[in-house]
Amino acid sequence: MADQTAAIDTRPRSEASSTVLQIAVLAGLAATGTLATNVLLPSLPQMAISLKVSSAAVTAAITVFLAVFAVGQLVVGPISDRYGRRWPVLIGFAVFFAGSVWCSLASDLPSLLIGRVIQAVGACATSVLSRAIARDLFSGAALARAMALIMIAMAAAPGFSPLLGGALDHIFGWRSEFAFLAAFAGFGALAYGMVFGETHLATRTPLDPQAIAKTYLTLLRDRRFVVPAATVSLILGALFSIFSAAPRVLIEAMHFTPIQLGLFFAGTVLIVFAAGMLATRLAPRYGLDRSIRSGLLAAAAGSLAMLLVSLYTPSFLPFLAAMSVFLLGMGIVSPLGTAQALSPFGDKAGAASALIGFSQMMAAAIGVWLAATISHDALFALGVVLMVFSLVAVALYSIRATKP
């Protein structure tokens, strides 16, 4: 009897440990794309000198990566719905590893850009399939909890990677950042291979252009998918506008040093972490719909505060307070909205995840572009972008039917 009791007591702990490990690996998959982008930011001037091009020209290493990363997700998702998740993820890591090595050996900008294209092809496989695998394994409140933790990892990557990249550049030079990314890919592939088998056990969808187009059109016509997916994309687009505008606001206007800027980005992760933990408690108690609405209201309040700060009190503490409120709302909306968009589409989880990833990256690109072009005053431009994106997200989500 004692042995039976011990077995009964041990099994739940073992299952819980396995779930934590699975989510940790999925978080690593999700963070691959943002890590590969932001770790380079402190090194762009040194890369330009080394490759004998202008600083403006070398930023193409970021633009090219994001473009391929966005479009590639639309291809990887349907492939995974047809052939499963395991081999696309492992191949993605291998391609990302090869692209990282290529970049580390690049002697000119065209060679670097080729390597970045290869990197992005691999990264889009790991990032998009992290959401699809989560949908394969979890549902309901458990899926919302898993997406919250994955979202924290996606926020941590751009938060901490500039500090990491700056340290690597200072000690070893900019090429060491690509060596680190190659090592990350190798470790990620090993961890994934050890923790996961094939998770896509539902009916496989055919892989042909007409079937893919039909799947995407079906999703785009379904309000259960479109509304939460577009809502999350708008909020994340606003988040990326913060990342792009913050250096101009803090370094140029508020005279931060690059190290202080890196510490500031790292500090934002704590806010997102707290919001993600709050989301895991709100969803089971109040449901996804009410929880998402509360997050949207917080994001809109933070956006309005940011616009007012830009007009009346353009100093650091009000800026930090406004951004913290927005990040709190974003940290609730992003995981819960993603879970809500994916939940009804288990048989199309790969395609749905790909479409979400594509829309998020497109919204991010638009947000970054608007924050850079609306006004020469970076803080005012940021406030406008946050306000517009948040209000559109609130209005869009308000049309969602309470019962799908």
| CATH number of the domain encompassing residue 228 | 1.20.1250.20
**Alpha carbon 348 to its chain's center:** 20
Q: Which pair of structure tokens corresponds to residue 147? A: 């997406």
Whether 67 is covered by a domain: the verdict is yes
Q: Is the pLDDT of residue 6 over 70?
A: no
Higher pLDDT, 128 or 310: 310
Strand segments, DSSP code E, in 78-136 are none
High-pLDDT (> 90) share of the chain, %: 32
Q: Up-side HSE of residue 19: CA atoms within 13 Å toward CB?
A: 14
Q: Are 387 and 304 in contact (CB under 8 A)?
A: yes
Rounded to whole angstroms, the Cα distance separating 344 from 135 reads 10
The torsion region of residue 140 among left (phi > 0), alpha (psi -120 to 50) and beta comes to left
Distances in Å between the alpha carbon of 131 and those of 199, 261, 268, 352? 12, 30, 23, 9
Whether 70 is covered by a domain: the verdict is yes
Of the candidates 240, 253, 264, which has an alpha carbon nearest to the alpha carbon of residue 378?
Answer: 253
Whether 1 is covered by a domain: the verdict is no
Whether 134 is covered by a domain: the verdict is yes
Q: Is the pLDDT of residue 403 over 60?
A: no
> How confident is the model over 382-396, as a mean pLDDT?
95
Q: Is the pLDDT of residue 244 over 80?
A: no
Residues 6+ apart with CB under 8 A from 178: 100, 101, 103, 104, 115
Where residue 310 falls among pLDDT bands split at 50, 70, 90?
very high
Domains contained in the chain, number: 1
pLDDT on residue 8? 37
> How confident is the model over 380-395, as a mean pLDDT?
94
Range with the poorest average pLDDT among 87-101, 158-172, 246-260: 246-260
Packing angle between helix 86-104 and helix 60-83, nearest 10 degrees? 160
Q: Is the pLDDT of residue 13 over 80?
A: no
Where residue 42 falls among pLDDT bands split at 50, 70, 90?
confident
Q: How many residues does the chain have?
A: 404
Whether 262 is covered by a domain: the verdict is yes
Where residue 155 falls among pLDDT bands split at 50, 70, 90?
low
Rounded to whole angstroms, the Cα distance separating 379 from 247 reads 10
* Helix, strand, coil fractions of the chain, as percent rounded to 5: 85, 0, 15
Whether 3 is covered by a domain: the verdict is no
Q: What is the tens place of the pLDDT at every residue in 245-301?
A: 777 788 778 887 766 777 787 788 788 878 878 887 888 888 888 999 999 999 999
Whether 404 is covered by a domain: the verdict is no
Higher pLDDT, 79 or 194: 194
Residues 6+ apart with CB under 8 A from 42: 162, 165, 166, 169, 258, 262
pLDDT on residue 16? 57
Q: Residue 345: give the domain boundaries.
A: 8-198+205-398
Rounded to whole angstroms, the Cα distance separating 64 from 326 reads 29
pLDDT on residue 397? 93
Q: H or E segment at 186?
A: helix 175-195
Residues 6+ apart with CB under 8 A from 159: 265, 266, 267, 268, 269, 272
pLDDT on residue 10? 40
